[in-house]
Amino acid sequence: MPSSDIPILVFGDRSPYVVETAQKIGLGEESINGDPMSTDIDAIVSPANTVGEMSGGYDLVIRNRLGLGVEKQVMASLEENKIYLGQARTFDTGHPQIKKLIVVPTVVGAMRGGNTSVGTLQTLTPSMDVIELGAYNLMMDAYRHGVKKVGTVLLGGGVGGARKDEALRAMLKGYGKAYDEIYDLIFD
């Protein structure tokens, strides 16, 4: 159920340059040098792939924190009901602090042999339209699910290989569109 508040976006990254740039351009309300899960959030964004494999990059950090069961839940859901690049889907995690996982695939994934520990992901560098749409949809999904504070890393800039400055600008565009739309829903 949507809340009467616009979700707060917490942006984090290992690269101080990426975090500083996000702050300068106004991406999100809060930022952190490092893992956004190390701060007080109730949802985290998985910059996953279209099959939900979480064996590398930031998804592996999420899987290690929230447990292998989260990856299994995501993969089963995405196998049953496909998700496309830039879309978002929210899952309950069962974790006491980080209650929701918002999956936003920015790369195409393909499993081979069913072994999720090997990291058999096939990637395509995402377009800036996919990253913009992903940022928009993660905010809209957070709002629809009553998330107060959602953490994310740079979409498409890790395994996806997108240029970090371009990906940040694309995220800002999607974030801004969602913010304006949610504001209108609440106050109009």
Residue pLDDT, tens place only, 84-143: 999 999 999 999 999 999 999 988 876 454 444 444 445 566 789 999 999 999 999 999
CA 142 to chain centre: 10
For the chain, what are the domain ranges? 8-187
**153: phi then psi, degrees, rounded to nearest 5:** -105, 180
**Rounded CA separation 134/80 (Å):** 21
Architecture of domain 8-187: 3-Layer(aba) Sandwich (3.40)
Q: Which residue has the higher pLDDT, 27 or 55?
A: 27
Q: How confident is the model at residue 158 (pLDDT cuts 50, 70, 90)?
A: confident
pLDDT of residue 114: 47
pLDDT of residue 106: 87
pLDDT of residue 124: 62
Q: What is the mean pLDDT of residues 26-53?
A: 93
Is 61 strand, coil or helix?
Answer: helix
